[in-house]
């Protein structure tokens, strides 16, 4: 952390940007931090996410400080200062997030004590751009690959590569009971997620 940056205590929230993954099950979608498994790091609808050492954002844990996030540690809920131009996780969905409580400022973003989604803005296509930096897509231009039955992570794709993504998912699904993957308009799927979490959509 740069010496001229500071630790803020936010009584009102600070708006920043971050990426989530979405786990789809028969009971519905749940948001997850990109660095955690489906069983850990779930963002509960209508409840603030609280940073804590042990698993959130870092696995294995980076520290065990008394007050998370701590100065000169790596713990906390991460967010970018500016909207990212690409997504760095192949299943990520981009949006705005509110951070409050103790918020530690960094060169390109923040680590917060509490957080909650404000809006969802982009999906992406892993076949557009480069393999490490998939091209972001407005939600009304994105398609979503999801399991029609069973559970799985949502995948994002452009309409041009939707058939390719569906074929790949079908070939890779070698379970005794395949999930029967389908492709749906991204905005249709995100509307259901936004309604569950009671947040907005920007297109």
Residue partners of 175: CB distance under 8 A and separation at least 6: 150
pTM, rounded to two decimals: 0.83
| Rounded (5°) CA angle 84-14-124 | 25
pLDDT reported for residue 12: 82
Compute the distance between CA of residue 9 and CA of residue 160 in angstroms, rounded to an integer.
46
Domain ranges for the chain, please list them: 7-201
H helix intervals, 16-141: none
Angle at 142 between CA 140 and CA 148, to 5 degrees: 110
**CA–CA separation, 150 vs 26, rounded Å?**
6
E strand map for the chain: 7-25, 28-33, 42-43, 49-50, 77-80, 93-105, 109-129, 134-138, 142-147, 152-153, 155-158, 181-185, 200-201
Cβ–Cβ under 8 Å, residues 1 and 72? yes
Mention every residue, 6+ apart, whose C-beta is less than 8 A from residue 193: 22, 29, 31, 120
**8 A C-beta contact, residue 113 and residue 103:** yes
Give the pLDDT of residue 3: 47
Q: Return the pLDDT at 36.
A: 62
**Which of 73, 38, 39, 74 is closest to 57 using CA atoms?**
74
Tens place of pLDDT per residue across the chain (203 aa): 444 555 555 568 899 999 999 998 888 899 998 876 555 578 999 999 988 775 444 445 556 666 778 776 777 888 999 887 766 666 789 999 999 999 999 888 998 999 999 999 999 888 887 666 667 899 999 999 998 877 888 999 999 999 998 988 877 766 666 568 899 999 999 999 999 999 999 98
Report the pLDDT value the prediction gives residue 151, as an integer from 0 to 100.
84
């Amino acid at each position: 952390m740069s010496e001229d940056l500071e630790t803020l205590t936010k009584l009102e929230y600070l708006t920043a940007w971050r990426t989530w993954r979405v786990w789809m099950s028969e009971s519905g979608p749940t948001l997850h931090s990109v660095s955690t498994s489906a069983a850990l790091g779930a963002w509960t609808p209508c409840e603030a996410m609280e940073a804590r050492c042990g698993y959130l954002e870092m696995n294995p844990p980076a520290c065990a400080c008394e007050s998370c996030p701590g100065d000169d540690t790596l713990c906390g809920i991460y967010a970018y200062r500016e909207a990212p131009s690409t997504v760095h996780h192949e299943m990520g969905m981009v949006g705005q997030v509110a951070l409050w409580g103790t918020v530690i400022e960094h060169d390109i973003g923040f680590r917060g004590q509490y957080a909650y989604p404000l809006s969802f803005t982009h999906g992406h296509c892993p076949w557009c751009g480069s393999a490490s930096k998939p091209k972001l897509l407005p939600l009304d231009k994105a398609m979503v690959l999801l399991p029609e039955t069973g559970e799985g992570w949502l995948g994002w794709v452009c309409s041009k590569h939707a058939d390719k993504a569906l074929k790949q998912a079908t070939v890779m699904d070698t379970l005794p009971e395949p999930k029967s993957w389908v492709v749906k308009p991204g905005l249709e799927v995100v509307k259901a997620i936004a309604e569950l979490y009671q947040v907005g959509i920007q297109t």
